[in-house]
Amino acid sequence: MKLSKKMIPFMKACVPVIFLLLMVLWNPLYTFDALLCDGLYARLDGISPKIKIISVDEETLDAYGNFGVWSREKTAELIEMLYADETNAPAIVALDFLFTGDSDEQKDSMLKNACEGKNHIITASNVVYRGVTKQSPEGKLYYDVWNIDMVETSYTGLNEVTQSGYTNAYIAEDGCVRYTKLTEQFEGNTLSSFAWLTYKTFEEMNGKEAVMPETMDNGMLTFFYSGQVGEFTHYSMKRVLDGSIPASEFKDCIVLVGAYAPGFQDAYVSAAERGKPMYGVEIQANMIQALQEGKTAVSFPTWIYLIVTAVVIYLFFLLAQKQKLFPIICEAAVLIVVHLVTGRYLAGLGYTISQIYFVGSMAACVLYFVIEKYVIERIRRRKMLSTFKQYVDAKVVDVLAKDDQFKTRLGGEKRNVAVLFVDIRGFTPLSESLMPEQVVKILNEYLALTTSCILGNNGMLDKFIGDATMAVFNAPHDLEDYVYRAVQTALDMRAGAEELAKKLKEQYGKTVYFGIGVNCGDAVVGNIGCDFRMDYTAIGDTVNTAARLESRAKAGEILISEAVYEILKDRIVAESVGEMELKGKSKPLMVYQVIGKKEG
C-alpha cells in the first residue's frame, strides 16, 4: 500500500503527457493550432521592391471587356511594351494565366511572337491530381492522393517559346494557403512550380545558385508571407498599356501578370490575413520572396519534439503536486512563454512546431490544480465545517471558517483545555424495565440536553460513549475563560437533569441523574483515527483524569480536580471531598465537589 501511494504522483503526471502525445499525433485541433502558429510565425517584414504585379483588375476589364476575348492580344502588346527598350526591360515576366488550347490563330501567333526571343518569359500550367489505388513494392495497397493524372499547359506555340511552372494552390485543412510544393515528378520529368521556376531563373540571371529548401516527406513546405492583401506593388494593366505607367518602372524586376478581380475566381484565404481573400498572383509573389529570403520551414522532427515537451510537462506536473496554486500558475505561464519564444526562434531556423497542444496541456494542468487545490479543497473544508457544526456551536464554526490555520489546527497540536465527562446514573436498571424504543427516546432526550448545554457555552461536543458524553473546551479554537465555561456547562446539565428527572418520574415511574467530572490541563488535540474513520478529539492524562472523576461522581455530583478549583475558587462554591485514588494515577488526587456559583 505504501508503495502504491508513493507511485500515485508519478502516475498522475503521466496523464498530461499521454494527452499531449495523443493530441500531437492525432492533431484534432489543426485549425486552431494553425491560427495560433500563423500569428506567431508571421514574418511580415516588408515586400520586395524587385517584385511587382501588373494586375488585370476591374479597371482593365471595364476598358477592354471580357478577358477571354482580348487576353492573348493585349498580353502580347504588354510584353512588347515591357521589352521595347532592352535597357529598361524587366528581369522576368511571369504570366499567371493558363493560355490553354488554340484560340484565334492570329492572336495565338501574336502572343507567341511577342514572347519569342525575349528573355525569361514564364507561363502558368496546372497539375491535375486524381487519387488512385496503388501497390507498394512490398505488395501493400494504398491510396495515392498525389497521383498526377495530367498537366495542363499553354497552347503548343506559346509553350515552345516560354518556360512553364504550375500554379496550383495547396489549400490546407483550415482553408488557408500556407504550404507549397516546389517540384513534382510526372512521366519521368521534373516539373517546377511557378514560384520556384521564377525564383530559380532570377537567381541564375544574377549569377547565383538557387537553393532548394528542405521539404517534408510529401514534398511540401511552409512558406511565410512577406505582405498582406494588396501590399505588393501592383499596377493596373490598362494603365501600363495606355502609358500612364512607364515600362521603365519595371526595370530589372520580377513582373507578375495576373488576375486582380473577383470574376476570375482566383482568390484564396492566406495565412497572413484571414479576413480578406488574396489573389493568386499575390500569393505567388509571397512565395517567390519567401524563397529569396529563406522564409520557408518544415515541421520539426515530431519524435524529438514529443520527447522534450513530454519531459517538461511530466516534471512540471510532478513538482506542481507539492506546490501552492499561485506558483503553479506562474510556472505554467513561464513555460508557455518559453514554448512560444522557442517556436518563433525555430521558425527563423526553418522549423515549425505545434503550439496549441503544449499550451492546451499546460492550461489543462493548471485547471486540474485549480480544481484540486482550490475547488475541491473548498468543498472538503465546507464539508468538514458542516460536520463540525454537529458538535461545535455554529457561530464557532463560522469563526473557524475564516481561520487560515484551521487545517493545521485539525492536524494535531498540544493545547491547554478543560475536559468534561457526564454519564447517566441509574440508566441500566431503567433501560431493563422499558421497551427499546422508550430507552432510545430517553437516551436521545438526555443527549439533547447535554449537547445543548455544551454548545450553549461554546464547548466542543467531542463524542458520545454509550450513555456518556465527552466535551472539550478551548479546542479547536481559542476560547476565553474556558475552564469556567466547562464548570458552567456542568451546572447547566445538573439543572436540566432535575427537570428531566421529574419528567421521567411522571412518565415511567423511574428517574435518572447525572454524574459529572471536570478537569483541565494540557492535552493533544487533533484528527485521530485511520483513513476511513477519523475523529477530532483530545487525548492524554488530562482527559483520562476527567473521565475518572466522572466515574467517581455520585448522582447529581459535579467533581472537579484541584487544578480546576485553583483557577475558579473565587467564582464558585466548592467543597473538598478529600483525596481520591483514581485508576491510572500513581498518587491520590485532591477532588472538589461543585455546589454552585458565588453571587456577584
Cβ count within 10 A of residue 568 = 23
Same domain, 218 and 113: yes
How many structural domains is the chain composed of?
3
Same domain, 519 and 441: yes
Same domain, 484 and 354: no
The answer to whether residues 514 and 424 touch, using CB atoms and an 8 Å cutoff, is yes
CB 63 within 8 A of CB 172: no
Intervals of the chain under pLDDT 50: 1-3, 408
**Angle CA 491–546–418, to nearest 5:** 65
Domain boundary among 272, 294, 316: 294
* Beta strand pairing call for 351-352 and 141-144: unpaired
Domain CATH number, residue 430:
3.30.70.1230
Whether residues 315 and 250 share a domain: the answer is no
Give the per-residue pLDDT at 136: 86
Q: Is residue 496 one of the residues assigned to a domain? A: yes
Last residue of a domain, one of 294, 317, 334: 294
Residues 309 and 252 reside in one and the same domain: no
φ/ψ of 586, rounded to 5, equals -75, -25
Residues 312 and 288 in one domain: no
Q: What is the structure's pLDDT at 375?
A: 74
**Do residues 419 and 444 share a domain?**
yes
Same domain, 578 and 547: yes
Where does a domain end: 381, 413, 438?
Answer: 381
For residue 510, what is its C-alpha cell? Answer: 423511574
Integer CA distances (angstroms), 77 to 130, 157, 293, 386, 409, in order: 37, 17, 33, 90, 93
Range of the domain at 461: 404-597
**C-alpha cell recorded at residue 329:** 500558475
CB atoms within 10 A of CB 551: 15
Shared domain for 197 and 310, answered yes or no, is no
Which tens digits make up the pLDDT trace of 44-78? 989 999 999 999 999 999 999 999 999 999 999 99
Domain annotation covers residue 37: no
Q: What is the largest CA-CA distance in the chain?
A: 137
Reduced to 3 states (helix: H, G, I; strand: E, B; else coil), residue 498 is helix
Per-residue pLDDT tens over the stretch 307-351: 999 999 999 999 999 898 899 999 999 999 999 999 999 999 999
Q: Could you tell me if residue 529 is inside a domain?
A: yes
* 334 & 476 share domain: no
- Tell whether 59 is covered by a domain: yes
Position 202 scores a pLDDT of: 97
Name residue, grid cell 472538589. 592
Phi (first) and psi of residue 278, to 5 degrees: -110, 130
